Amino acid sequence: MVNRQKALLMTLIALLIYPNDIFGGAFPPEFADTIQNVTVSLGRDATFTCLVNHLGGYRVGWLKVDTKAIQAIHDHVITHNNRVSVSHRDHTTWNLHIKNVQEQDEGRYMCQINTDPMKSQTGMLSVVVPPDFIPEETSSDVMVREGGQVKLMCRARGVPPPSISWRREDGKNIIIRKPFAGNALNQKSHVTSVNEYHGEELRLMKISRNEMGVYLCIAINGVPPAVSKRISINVHFSPVIHVPNQLVGAPLDTDVVLECFVEASPKSINYWVKDNAMIISSQQHDVQTIEKSRFEVRMVLTIRNLQKDNVGTYKCVAKNSLGDVESSIRLYEISGPTKAQTAARPSVYDEEDETVYGSAEIEKIENKLLFVDNMINGYVEYPSVATSMPTVRIGKKRQTIGANSNADHRRRGSDLLIVLMLIIGHQKCQ
């Protein structure tokens, strides 16, 4: 009796779960939900899921609609594509898997139940492709003479079709020149400056040396990753030299710096010349070339411990394949304080607090000394105002007096002592 009750209970449970298998389709199969469309990037995996209720003894099949190629029936794969597989959970969830999706996999896929009439539903597989440049339709590096015209092309493929934009790698703006309506190319143009230019074709007219550099073609369609291509524009022109100071004066025994700025493309050969001889780095000369930009350099010539034979005309020379140019700098000697003048006058130097007296102040100091000296000799005399007086530096820390000056002061002291003794003796006699 107990076994009979158990058997009845199991039958009821089976009836509820698999009614079609037991009673031959009392409840016909139906789809529990629609198939979701799938969008996947090229090379990724895609899965379609078909939900079925009351499948019973019926079977689920998969079909690619556009080619009518059967992919699988129930749990058996029919297609020869080894990237396709199927799986299921119970009798309700049926999956079609496509690995490493390719562009040819795109299209509609049908999930069908072999009822009479057949029941089916479809889902769309969309394959998106990140952008990629078409090499034969994309420009490479170009060279143009200054003032010429450049046309850059950039085309890319992808799904959806990518958009193209241009930027400069150095972050500077792109200069767009367009002739006014009815004007020839060599006449005035409408000029705009943009940070980014959109379009497959970029035209640069009347190009200048400042527009030389790397331009980036960027392709993007919302599918990562975006791609970019570097296109270098080289603008060629003959050398040009700019000299800030063409006349330079300096005292002897000092260091002198001469400089020239050179612009050239392609890069020029740069050197210094004096008296038809090239100057190279040595103990007295230091030759340097400092790069300032892609087409500009600074030529620097340092002459150490200037001597008379260093005075003269120096030339900075620049040469490239398009031409050569030179510019002159005249170096001359200017007067400066000599060692003899420095030793002949008392001088005190303080780096922190320095007072400089000129010839007028020196005359006041000297007048005091001469007035005392002349009074002792019995008359007053002032020095001539035409006498040239060197500059004396007076500070707080230390006094430096030349040897000749010390002897003069000792001699004047002896003379003063003798005169004072004579005056005292004369008064006693009276």
Separation of alpha carbons 348 and 399, rounded Å: 4
Quickly count helices (H) and strands (E) in the chain.
Answer: 5, 32
Instruction: State the pTM of this model.
Output: 0.64
CATH code of residue 322: 2.60.40.10
Closest Cα to residue 212, out of 236, 240, 234?
234
Say if 199 falls within a structural domain. Answer: yes
Same domain, 144 and 230: yes
Contact 226, 313 (CB under 8 A): no
Q: Which residue among 102, 128, 154 closes a domain?
A: 128
Q: What is the per-residue pLDDT for 210? A: 95
Say if 116 falls within a structural domain. Answer: yes
Same domain, 77 and 62: yes
Say if 114 falls within a structural domain. Answer: yes
Same domain, 151 and 220: yes
Quick check: helix, strand or coil at residue 370?
helix
Q: What is the per-residue pLDDT for 160? A: 95
Say if 79 falls within a structural domain. Answer: yes
Say if 372 falls within a structural domain. Answer: no
Give how many domains the chain has, as a whole number: 3
Q: What is the per-residue pLDDT for 428? A: 52
Q: What is the per-residue pLDDT for 379? A: 30
Contact 326, 317 (CB under 8 A): yes
Closest Cα to residue 315, out of 307, 306, 324?
324
Closest Cα to residue 321, out of 143, 181, 119?
143
Same domain, 117 and 160: no
Say if 351 falls within a structural domain. Answer: no
Q: What is the per-residue pLDDT for 301? A: 98
Q: What is the per-residue pLDDT for 400? A: 33
> Could you list the pLDDT tens digit for every one of the 430 residues in the chain?
556 555 544 544 444 444 444 444 568 999 999 999 999 999 999 999 999 999 989 999 999 999 999 999 999 999 999 999 999 998 899 999 999 999 999 999 999 999 999 999 999 999 999 999 999 999 999 999 999 999 999 999 999 999 999 999 999 999 999 887 655 555 678 899 999 999 999 999 999 999 999 999 999 999 999 999 999 999 999 999 999 999 999 999 999 999 999 999 999 999 999 999 999 999 999 999 999 999 999 999 999 999 999 999 999 999 999 999 999 999 999 987 543 333 333 333 333 333 333 333 333 333 333 333 333 333 333 333 333 333 222 223 333 333 344 444 445 555 555 655 656 665 555 5
Tokens of residue 360, six digits: 């007028």
Same domain, 273 and 306: yes
Amino acid at the residue 295: F
Say if 74 falls within a structural domain. Answer: yes
Same domain, 117 and 205: no
Contact 140, 151 (CB under 8 A): no
Say if 413 falls within a structural domain. Answer: no
Separation of alpha carbons 46 and 392, rounded Å: 94
- The residue range of the domain holding 36 is 30-128
